[in-house]
Amino acid sequence: MTVEEFFSGQAKSRQIFEVVRSAVEAIGPAELRVQKSQISFRRRRPFAWLWMPGQYLGGKTAPLVLSIAFRNRTASPRWKEVVEPLPGRFMHHLELHSPSDIDKEVCTWLQEAWLAATETDR
């Protein structure tokens, strides 16, 4: 699947995605993987995912959600949800409503996740 196919008919989601992609590219090289349900950025392992909650949830949803993996819970009222699917792996979910949501704080989180994505597991 291509980026174009993933965002077919979802112009606002695509616009936000392009800002996230630019933020990741400014940090350094990362592989982009497009799947039916999500787009991921990875180095040695995945570190950030983008998905459209409207595909799965009814009602009014954010155009896009950015999910970032950390080894620890990162405190911020901006996170919609933080879950620990595996011991020592915390998934942080951030609703993105507009390109301006990708600010300095989000870029810092992406950089931290990007750096950690090449570390060997403990």
Between 19-23, 28-32, 50-54, 90-94, the lowest mean confidence (pLDDT) is in 50-54
Bridge partners (DSSP) of residue 32 are 41
pLDDT at 48 over 50: yes
Q: Please give the full DSSP string across 44-109, using - where no structure is assigned.
A: SSEEEEEE-GGGT--SS--SEEEEEEESS----TT-SEEEEEETTEEEEEEEE-SGGGS-HHHHHH
User: Mean pLDDT across the stretch 54-82?
Assistant: 89
Q: How far is CA 7 from CA 16, 34, 77, in A?
A: 11, 10, 28
Say what the pTM is.
Answer: 0.90
Q: Which of 3, 33, 31 is nearest to 18 (CA)?
A: 3
Tens digits of residue pLDDT in 72-97: 999 899 999 999 998 988 999 999 99
Average pLDDT over residues 15-26: 98
Which residues lie across from 90 on neighbouring strands? 70
